[in-house]
């Protein structure tokens, strides 16, 4: 697999596939991609979390020799992934048509912000812009916080990355079944809207609003406890009843105003009173006490952990989700390992991150270039 992408949406996709068995060569500029370096030997967390397990080649694509090197790699790759702005790979001569003319079985993935054409296609784009366009920002509004806000994580980039990985896998399966190579074009806008739609647009799904339903997130609740905060979700009759039992309010079990989810969604006064009673009850417990009481009565609930506390959560530890390992420069990394358990083909955690151009000579030798040619490329600034 040849990875010509940078930042998150492309690199995370190829890292996912690397840990599922792909051999990935990452091509980046001579000075390294923008998420990589803050010092001569330091690797930033964002780069490390999207580029684990790849061999690294540094090439100047502004030179004809650099383009020829990358084209040579593309012509012998099963998969190529790039996220240049639309039109750039065509100008460079490493586009799908050029590669496929020599490698008809190639799966070529083009990742963009808005699409290959259209009114926004040439605009610069980053994650929060897409969040705004697909309705995610507007969807953060709740009664307790009646103003929109961004999701403070790279939602659009990561949704796109996972979609890219899935579509490439699907194309590889299709190729194995005789479909041959193909070009996959996927934008952050496309992937993020599809990701957001199932619940985020649930109340707008029926044409012209003939049927209006509430979004699941409208039932999300975040409350204060004696020593922190708690998240809970009441989605069924039994969960409403479980909440009252956990709070010792069995007296409310016979009152449908407090136990009928459908009625509560229509009766604002009853819903407000029920919410006030829940807040008061949970506010008299510690987070641990509240979680234990709610779990005993099958109410979905959990603590609001700081990001640092995630490392110490018992279930996170039990599931072996965090991997600690050392870089050659002495830095220690903490990363999330590959999710999922496979009975026969378990994804492999690959504990290495190449420095800029670490594998350049090795990869050029595999392409048939001898030591003199490689030295010439280096001298001319074609590779690093």
What is the tens place of the pLDDT at every residue in 211-241? Answer: 566 677 777 889 999 999 999 998 888 998 9
**Is the model's pLDDT at 345 over the cut of 80?**
yes
pLDDT tens figures, 93-117: 999 999 999 999 999 999 999 999 9
What is 2-198+318-379's CATH superfamily? Crotonobetainyl-coa:carnitine coa-transferase; domain 1 (3.40.50.10540)
**Cα 79–chain centre separation:** 20
- Measured CA to CA, the distance from residue 236 to residue 262 in angstroms comes to 9
pLDDT at 38: 57
Written out in words, the top-level CATH class of the domain with range 229-303 is alpha beta
pTM (2 d.p.) = 0.93
**Is the model's pLDDT at 170 over the cut of 80?**
yes
pLDDT at 211: 59
Phi, psi (rounded to 5 degrees) for 231:
-110, 135
Which of 141-155, 180-194, 226-240, 252-266 tops mean pLDDT?
A: 180-194
**Is the model's pLDDT at 357 over the cut of 90?**
yes
Q: Helix, strand, or coil here: 262?
A: helix
Listed in sequence order, the DSSP H helices in the chain are 9-18, 45-48, 64-74, 88-92, 96-102, 127-134, 155-176, 188-200, 237-246, 256-259, 261-266, 268-282, 287-296, 314-318, 360-366, 371-379
* Confidence bin at 34 (pLDDT 50/70/90): confident
* Confidence bin at 290 (pLDDT 50/70/90): very high
How is residue 115 written in tokens?
A: 């699409």
Residue that wins the pLDDT comparison between 144 and 326: 326
pLDDT at 105: 98
**Is the model's pLDDT at 318 over the cut of 70?**
yes
The DSSP secondary-structure symbol of 320 reads T
pLDDT at 101: 97
Element (H, E) at 235: none
**Is the model's pLDDT at 256 over the cut of 80?**
no
Residue 169: closest CA among 55, 99, 81: 81
**Is the model's pLDDT at 210 over the cut of 80?**
no
Give the mean model confidence (pLDDT) for residues 18-35: 94
Listed in sequence order, the DSSP H helices in 75-154 are 88-92, 96-102, 127-134
Q: What are the structural domain ranges in the chain?
A: 2-198+318-379, 229-303
Name beta bridge partners: 59: 383
**Is the model's pLDDT at 274 over the cut of 90?**
no
**Is the model's pLDDT at 262 over the cut of 80?**
no
* Confidence bin at 90 (pLDDT 50/70/90): very high
Looking at the chain, the whole-number percentage of residues with pLDDT higher than 90 is 78
pLDDT tens figures, 57-79: 999 999 999 999 999 999 999 99
**Is the model's pLDDT at 1 over the cut of 70?**
yes
- Measured CA to CA, the distance from residue 80 to residue 109 in angstroms comes to 6
Give the orientation angle of helix 188-200 with respect to helix 127-134, to 10 degrees. 50
Give the mean model confidence (pLDDT) for residues 136-154: 85
pLDDT at 220: 85
Looking at the chain, the whole-number percentage of residues with pLDDT higher than 70 is 96
- Measured CA to CA, the distance from residue 256 to residue 135 in angstroms comes to 35
pLDDT tens figures, 366-382: 999 999 999 999 999 99
**Is the model's pLDDT at 305 over the cut of 70?**
yes
């Amino acid at each position: 697999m040849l990875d010509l992408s940078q930042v998150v949406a492309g690199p995370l996709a190829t890292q996912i596939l690397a840990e599922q068995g792909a051999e990935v060569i990452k091509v980046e500029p001579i000075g390294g991609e923008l998420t990589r370096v803050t010092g001569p030997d330091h690797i930033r967390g964002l780069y490390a979390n999207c580029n684990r397990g790849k061999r690294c080649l540094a090439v100047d694509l502004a030179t004809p020799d650099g383009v020829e090197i990358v084209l040579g790699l593309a012509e012998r790759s099963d998969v190529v992934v790039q996220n240049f702005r639309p039109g750039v790979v065509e100008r460079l001569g490493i586009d799908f048509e050029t590669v496929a003319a020599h490698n008809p079985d190639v799966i070529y993935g083009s990742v963009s912000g808005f699409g290959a054409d259209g009114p926004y296609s040439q605009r610069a784009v980053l994650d929060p812009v897409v969040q705004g366009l697909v309705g995610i920002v507007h969807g953060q509004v709740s009664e307790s916080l009646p103003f929109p806000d961004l999701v403070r994580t790279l939602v659009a980039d990561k949704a796109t990355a996972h979609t890219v990985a899935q579509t490439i896998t699907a194309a590889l399966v299709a190729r194995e079944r005789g479909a041959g190579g193909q070009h996959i074009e996927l934008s952050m806008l496309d992937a993020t809207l599809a990701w957001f739609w199932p619940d985020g647009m649930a109340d707008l799904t029926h044409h012209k609003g003939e049927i209006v339903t509430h979004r699941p997130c409208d039932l999300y609740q975040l409350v204060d406890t004696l020593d922190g905060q708690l998240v809970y979700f009441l989605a069924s009759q039994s969960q409403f009843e479980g909440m009252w039992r956990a709070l010792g309010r069995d007296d409310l079990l016979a009152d449908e105003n407090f136990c009928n989810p459908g009625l509560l969604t229509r009766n604002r006064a009853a819903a407000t009173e029920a919410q006030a009673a829940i807040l008061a009850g949970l506010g008299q417990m510690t987070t641990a006490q509240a979680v234990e009481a709610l779990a005993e009565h099958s109410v979905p609930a959990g603590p609001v952990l700081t990001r640092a506390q995630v490392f110490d959560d018992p279930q996170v530890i039990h599931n072996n989700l965090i991997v600690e390992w050392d870089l050659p420069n002495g830095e220690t990394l903490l990363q999330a390992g590959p999710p999922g358990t496979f009975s026969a083909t378990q994804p492999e955690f690959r504990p290495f991150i190449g420095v800029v151009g670490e594998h350049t000579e090795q990869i050029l030798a595999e392409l048939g270039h001898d030591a003199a040619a490689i030295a010439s490329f280096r001298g001319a600034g074609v590779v690093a």
